[in-house]
Amino acid sequence: APSTLQGYNSAVNRFIRFCRKEKIQRRFWLPADELVLCAFAASSKGRHAGSTVRNAIAGLKAWHAAQNAEWKGGKQLKYILNGVENQRPLSSRCPPCFPVSRNFLRILRAKLNLSNPVDIAVFAAA
């Protein structure tokens, strides 16, 4: 999808900017050394949600595949991604939802037509 490609392109651009800022030699960019991938992912700690960082890494992996370059992301990168997820910013966390009560289900049931397949699905999901 175009939006996926745009996101992947953005991730590659962020990675290149990161490498330049950190003065990482070009030979470690492609194929990217796992240590460089880990440093790039860790640089987002506390600034981005884990899913954002995982998507950026997926973009880099796709970039490697498109360039027919070896992907060196492994166990260490997975550990770093888990750590980044644990340090996600408070703004990326949703407040907990209230549990669905029996009273809520009764009200919902009264408003639905259980001969309608969509309403049946809505009630089943609730």
Could you tell me if 44 and 6 lie in one domain? yes
Q: How far apart are CA 50 and CA 81, in angstroms?
A: 7
Q: Dump pLDDT digits (tens) for 80-119.
A: 999 888 876 666 667 788 888 999 999 999 999 999 999 9
Could you tell me if 88 and 119 lie in one domain? no
Q: Dump pLDDT digits (tens) for 14-36.
A: 999 999 999 999 999 899 999 99
The pLDDT, as a whole number, for residue 122 is: 92
Burial-class residue 111 by CB neighbours within 10 Å (0-12, 13-18, 19+).
Answer: exposed
Could you tell me if 75 and 117 lie in one domain? no
Task: Name every residue whose Cβ is closer than 8 Å to that of residue 67 and which is 6 or more positions away in sequence.
Answer: 30
Could you tell me if 106 and 86 lie in one domain? no
Q: What's the domain count of the chain?
A: 2
Could you tell me if 16 and 53 lie in one domain? yes
Task: Please give the residue range of the domain that contains residue 119.
Answer: 98-126
Could you tell me if 21 and 62 lie in one domain? yes
Could you tell me if 10 and 37 lie in one domain? yes
| pLDDT over 70 at 1, yes or no | no
